[in-house]
Amino acid sequence: MRKELIINDFLKEHSIINEPIYSIEFNELLNQKKLDEYLLDIKQQFEKLNIPTVIKKKCYGIIVEALENGMRHSLKVDHFDLIYHKLDIGTDLIELSFGNYIEEKDRPILEKHISLIEKEGYDKIKELMYTKASDGKPLSERGGAGVGIFDMAIKSKGNIKQKVFELNSKFYYFTHIKIK
């Protein structure tokens, strides 16, 4: 099955913004320079649209965590290393979507974290994140603290849907977030 069809199905099921006042979508190979350029554009767009501070900072934080995670954990194989992102700004809601192929060895821990986020409440997720961040262990080889997924769940206040799909004999991780 084509990746685009699965993403479209997932978005159809969860997305509720029909006519966004601003929308951007890409599926490309990201690096730090491209990320910085995109974040600068987004900051300017939020200013232009007078998005309240609390909302724009939440969205900004989620975009950084999700795209940095994508850059660190995406499958480093040609044609499978692209990072998908969509931002839709509606009149009273912002929707953020992210997707990338992952390494098979990362799948169990990722699914464990997704399951925890689905089961546990806001306070428990927060406790988990700060406990893990203060465990004294060094940052991972890929430079992450291993808590970005919890940070996204906290900032979205639980309005987060995540799934790992089996696709083309590989695994694709997709996230959809609503910010009100």
Partner 1 sequence: MENLHLDPTQNTPLINCDSKTNSITIEGESRPENVRAFYANLFEWLDNFEKLIYYAVSLSANEKQIELNFKLEYFNSSSLKVFMEIIDKLKKIEKGSDKIKLVINWYYEEDDEDILDSGKEFEKMTGASMNFISN
Interface residues toward partner 1, by CB under 8 A: 32, 36, 39-40, 52-54, 57-58, 60-61, 64-65, 68, 126, 129-131, 133-134, 138-139, 143-145, 147-148, 150-151, 155
* E strand or H helix that includes residue 162: strand 160-167
Nearer to partner 1, 121 or 138 (CB): 138
Min. distance of Cβ 145 from partner 1 in angstroms?
4
In the chain, the N- to C-terminal Cα span, in Å, equals 33
Nearer to partner 1, 7 or 128 (CB): 128
List alpha helices for the chain, DSSP H: 3-14, 32-48, 53-73, 107-119, 122-133, 148-155
Cα 157 to the chain's mean position, in Å? 14
Min. distance of Cβ 11 from partner 1 in angstroms?
26
Let me know: does 44 contact 51? Beta carbons within 8 Å. Answer: no
**Could you tell me which of 161, 165, 170 has the C-alpha nearest to residue 14?**
161
Nearer to partner 1, 86 or 155 (CB): 155
Min. distance of Cβ 161 from partner 1 in angstroms?
20
Token pair 């699914």: residue: 111
Min. distance of Cβ 146 from partner 1 in angstroms?
8
Nearer to partner 1, 31 or 169 (CB): 31
Query: Residue 28's CB: how many other CB atoms inside 10 A?
Result: 12
Min. distance of Cβ 51 from partner 1 in angstroms?
12
DSSP-derived letter for residue 158 is: T
Nearer to partner 1, 25 or 37 (CB): 37
